[in-house]
Amino acid sequence: MRNLYTGEPHQLALEALRHADNRIPIPQASTQQAYLESQILAHLNSGGWWWAHPLGISAIRPSDRWPVVLLDSHTELSGGAAHPMSDFAIVQLLPYAEPGIQVHAIPGVRVAATRGADLHLAMIGTDARVILRATKGTNWRQELSERRESLLDGKLHPLWEEPGLTHYEREHEAEAPLTMRAERNLAWLGSGLFRRIALFHTSSSAYSTRSWIQSDEWRIELDTATGVSLDHNGFLARLCDRSWGIPLKIERHNCTCHLQFPPNRPLSRQCTYYLAHTHDDSGELQIRFRSERAFEDDGVRATLESVGAEQSWLNRVLPATEASEDAEASR
């Protein structure tokens, strides 16, 4: 059961067996730890990128003191070139200052250690830590030094090795106190989703997953191909499961499943669900289950194949249509 939520058996099978805790429910993170995890989840997301697994994470091992996150090998921007996931993570997560303008990525994040293919990320002034495990052969140290060079060339300041919170980061936090508070209030939710990241791969019918924070709301947009059943009830049941899920309840929803649409017309429809914590009122989760034309012509399936998506998953979320088979044959 747990593997549906964490993705462990495929990638972390040996460790899981050693620890033999595959039946232990997913522990909740402490406040500081939850904040770091939720920020990582929020920043790994920016629309337009494709991964073998939603958001580029194939599995998470949440039970140790510090969660270990397994990254996909690479990512691809729509219509663009392949990009190592390790470098993508560095760019999205490690803070740097554009003097006088703003701090990019996650203020306060520091590199605590590099050990082989593992990058230890810490939140300054706390004992929160997340271990990013890249594919074998990844040289974090070299990638970090290349990133540092390229930032300095552009007159930008890398901050991930600074011993204390820099004045750039303090100013950044002081300028947007409401945003900071809202993001801290959403930490339990972001961490809850982060620790169950595999649900988006194992239990969702979507071929595309996006997520972002909008004021005090966490939003997730899941695109399911038209012709594939939009099973939001199954996904929501697992997400809200009492033993394995996040303590969430559905507050309100707008379901369009019963509406009739004319046949043979590309359609786009959406069922929207609003969820809140079962017993306190900090933050809301909005999930948009969208039924979308799967853009066969744009080669989404080919892109997902090129970044290493499993065939069994692709056959479920993007079953080959006659049109796409013709396109494949004529290539």
Give the binding site for Zn ion (CB under 5 A).
Answer: 255, 257, 271
Shortest CB 114 distance to Zn ion, Å: 45
Cα distances from 185 to residues 74, 180, 222, in angstroms, run 32, 9, 23
* Closest CB to Zn ion among residues 12, 230: 230
* Closest CB to Zn ion among residues 110, 290: 290
d(CA 38, CA 32): 10
Phi, psi of 173, deg, nearest 5? -70, -35
d(CA 310, CA 324): 18
* Closest CB to Zn ion among residues 165, 255: 255
H runs (alpha helix) in the chain: 2-6, 8-19, 31-43, 85-93, 140-153, 167-175, 177-185, 187-194, 199-202, 232-239, 300-306, 311-317, 322-329
Shortest CB 295 distance to Zn ion, Å: 21
Shortest CB 203 distance to Zn ion, Å: 16
**Residues pairing with 57 in the sheet:** 71
Name which of 292, 170, 168 is nearest 226 in CA terms.
292
Shortest CB 253 distance to Zn ion, Å: 8
* Residue nearest to Zn ion as judged by C-beta position: 271
Shortest CB 105 distance to Zn ion, Å: 36
* Closest CB to Zn ion among residues 82, 255: 255
